[in-house]
Amino acid sequence: MATNKDSNPWSPLQAPKELAQKLSLDPQTLLLASSDFGFIENKTPLAVFEPSSESDIIDLIKYSNSLPNPFTIAPRGQGHSTHGQGLTNDGVVLNMNGLGDFRNGSEIVVYDEYVDVGAEQLWIDVLRATLKHGLTPLSWTDYMYLSVGGTLSNAGINGTSFRFGPQISNVLQLDVVTGKGDLVTCSPVNNSELFYAVLGGLGQFGIITKARIALGPAPTRVKWLRLFYTDFSEFTKDQEYLISFHEKTETRGADHVAGYILANLPPPRDVSFYPEQDLPRINSLVSKHGLVYSIELGKFYDTNSQSHIEEELAKLIKGLKFIPTFAFEKDISYEEFQNRLRVDIEFLRSNGLLNVPHPWLDLFVPRSRISDFNEGVLKDIVLKQNIPSASIIFYPMNHNKWDDRMSAVTPDEDIFYALGFFRASFANGEVEASEAQNEEILEFCKDAGIQAKVYLASYKTQEKWVEHYGSKWELIKDRKDEFDPKKILSPGQKIFN
């Protein structure tokens, strides 16, 4: 196990000259690499490595392996983890963004059915590059300013996942540098064990340097709806109907299905989405019911389907049980829809509201216990404690769109729900209160026998990780032994370090 806690820890000053030239000891650089988006954990690395090629990454990993006491290596893209998963205090942070500086954008190459992209590239840049060819990736993450390698190391989910699966289900091939320093091209048919290991593998088995992503024809416009409910059962029934629509009828169904919860915390998320004159009655509805549920529905179209999009949309929502007077619609470009969080993020950034703690919690909850979860968590914990959340997402996914050979874990049911509490803590005590609530939610699930799985987990002990992986634990352990036997990679996850 790579711990570097003995009396002779490694020092960056010992590194060979060719590596030392790329190891930064600049205090400001180290400071930036000592925290992440969460601003909850803080770990100062011994150095930050700035690679200019895959060869540099290989040399760094092989050098660490050669030492009696190897140092750990934490790959870092956009640093969007919330609990220090991409940090290390006894090793080197690998700045993947450096690759993009040297590649000069050359690592987004679009073909007819797929795009080859450097792992350091942002999804927004992948989108813009593919749209120039009338093409688009099929599955997305909500926030587009994340790196390709970062989301593929977790799963990458949003309202398109019910149809196409998570982003990891839409990868055709990867280039990976393993924890032993081997550069391997892998796919479902070549070096498949490594391929499935690193997808959703939390950076434990190798560092993704390039990915081949499946593409499809790009729409040009989106009908974007928000439909309000006060009845949780109707809300979940309608969501589950929408994610099964493609298989139940010849009519083309929704392309994006997500859900949001407004929990007595007006004004609602994305105030700019709603007509200003409707905000008072929305706030009144939330105040009256405490919990209001909203389905977000996206239906994509282009010039070929424009003439009958309204008819298709009417058929799609016919029979849904939303409150008729609380249905809101926009019509925007496809790119604008995929990048819809940009306005919110820019507002937060311009007002200095991003560099604060983000004690987020993301869960996958099995459909069979979703009513119990609503009563025990949303009503009895979230609503009663009234801790502010910038956004609460809540929507279903189809398990058959996930590949269980990959390292990611989900509940073992045909349908499960993604739940996300997105919080920003500004006042004293808010972080502690939010983290305590997160723990209370997890304890409730455990005590009630709800087999929920934490997405973007941040467990502090290996015992918790064993519980998290369940029947997959032996496979995860074997993969670690095979591809990173000295336990060098991604120590901030605290799975093996």
Of 467, 447, 444, nearest to 457 by C-alpha is 467
Can you point out the beta strands (E) in 432-478? 453-455
pLDDT of residue 350: 77
Report the alpha-carbon distance of residue 40 to residue 45 in Å, rounded. 16
At residue 106 the predicted structure's pLDDT band, cuts being 50, 70 and 90, is low
At residue 474 the predicted structure's pLDDT band, cuts being 50, 70 and 90, is very high
Q: Do both 254 and 380 map to the same domain?
A: yes
Q: Do both 113 and 230 map to the same domain?
A: no
Q: Is residue 200 part of a domain?
A: yes
Q: Are strands 327-333 and 221-229 parallel, antiparallel or unpaired?
A: antiparallel
Q: Do both 381 and 295 map to the same domain?
A: yes
Of 102, 12, 4, 92, nearest to 48 by C-alpha is 92
Of 9, 83, 69, nearest to 359 by C-alpha is 83
Q: Is residue 184 part of a domain?
A: yes
Q: What pLDDT digit, counting tens, does each position of 340-351 carry?
A: 998 878 877 777
Instruction: Enter the pTM of the model.
Output: 0.95
Of 155, 141, 164, 171, nearest to 401 by C-alpha is 164
| Best mean pLDDT range from 99-113, 273-287, 385-399, 459-473 | 459-473
Q: Do both 410 and 357 map to the same domain?
A: yes
Q: What percentage of the chain exceeds 70 in pLDDT?
A: 94
Q: Is residue 202 part of a domain?
A: yes
Q: Among residues 177, 195, 217, which one ends one of the domains?
A: 217
Q: Do both 251 and 172 map to the same domain?
A: no
Full DSSP string of 8-34: S---GGGS-HHHHTTEE--HHHHHHTT
pLDDT of residue 272: 73
Q: Is residue 49 part of a domain?
A: no
Contact 40, 99 (CB under 8 A): no
In this structure, what CATH number is given to the domain that contains residue 109? 3.30.465.10
255 sits in the region (left: phi over 0; alpha: psi -120 to 50; else beta) called: alpha
Q: Do both 189 and 328 map to the same domain?
A: no
Report the alpha-carbon distance of residue 131 to residue 122 in Å, rounded. 15
Is 80 exceeded by the pLDDT of residue 159? Answer: yes
Q: Is residue 141 part of a domain?
A: yes
Q: What pLDDT digit, counting tens, does each position of 23-80 carry?
A: 999 999 999 999 999 999 999 999 999 999 999 999 999 999 999 999 999 999 999 9
Q: What is the mean pLDDT of residues 177-186?
A: 98
At residue 199 the predicted structure's pLDDT band, cuts being 50, 70 and 90, is very high
29 sits in the region (left: phi over 0; alpha: psi -120 to 50; else beta) called: alpha
pLDDT of residue 269: 54
pLDDT of residue 346: 82
Mean pLDDT, the chain, rounded, equals 93
Q: What's the domain range around 360?
A: 221-455
Q: Do both 266 and 159 map to the same domain?
A: no
In this structure, what CATH number is given to the domain that contains residue 256? 3.40.462.10
Count of domains forming the chain: 2
Q: Who's near 389: CB < 8 A, 6+ residues apart? A: 263, 265, 382, 421, 422, 423
pLDDT of residue 243: 95
Is 60 exceeded by the pLDDT of residue 443? Answer: yes
Q: Is residue 490 part of a domain?
A: no
Q: Do both 402 and 256 map to the same domain?
A: yes
Q: Which residue has the tokens 């009696």?
A: 68
**pLDDT: is 84 or 103 the higher one?**
84
Q: What is the mean pLDDT of residues 151-174?
A: 98
213 sits in the region (left: phi over 0; alpha: psi -120 to 50; else beta) called: beta
Helix (H, G, I), strand (E, B) or coil at 96: coil
Q: Do both 211 and 234 map to the same domain?
A: no
Report the alpha-carbon distance of residue 124 to residue 202 in Å, rounded. 22
Q: Among residues 191, 217, 243, which one ends one of the domains?
A: 217
Which H or E element spans position 473? helix 473-483
At residue 107 the predicted structure's pLDDT band, cuts being 50, 70 and 90, is confident
Q: Do both 108 and 200 map to the same domain?
A: yes
Is 70 exceeded by the pLDDT of residue 2? Answer: no
Q: Residue 205: is it exposed, middle or buried by C-beta count within 10 angstroms (0-12/13-18/19+)?
A: buried
Q: Among residues 217, 236, 258, which one ends one of the domains?
A: 217
Q: What is the mean pLDDT of residues 154-167?
A: 97
Contact 98, 471 (CB under 8 A): no
Q: Do both 188 and 238 map to the same domain?
A: no
Q: Are strands 206-217 and 114-118 parallel, antiparallel or unpaired?
A: antiparallel
Is 50 exceeded by the pLDDT of residue 6? Answer: no
Cα dihedral: 84, 90, 91, 93 (round 10): 30
Q: Do both 166 and 293 map to the same domain?
A: no
Q: Is residue 489 part of a domain?
A: no
Q: Is residue 168 part of a domain?
A: yes
Is 90 exceeded by the pLDDT of residue 390? Answer: no
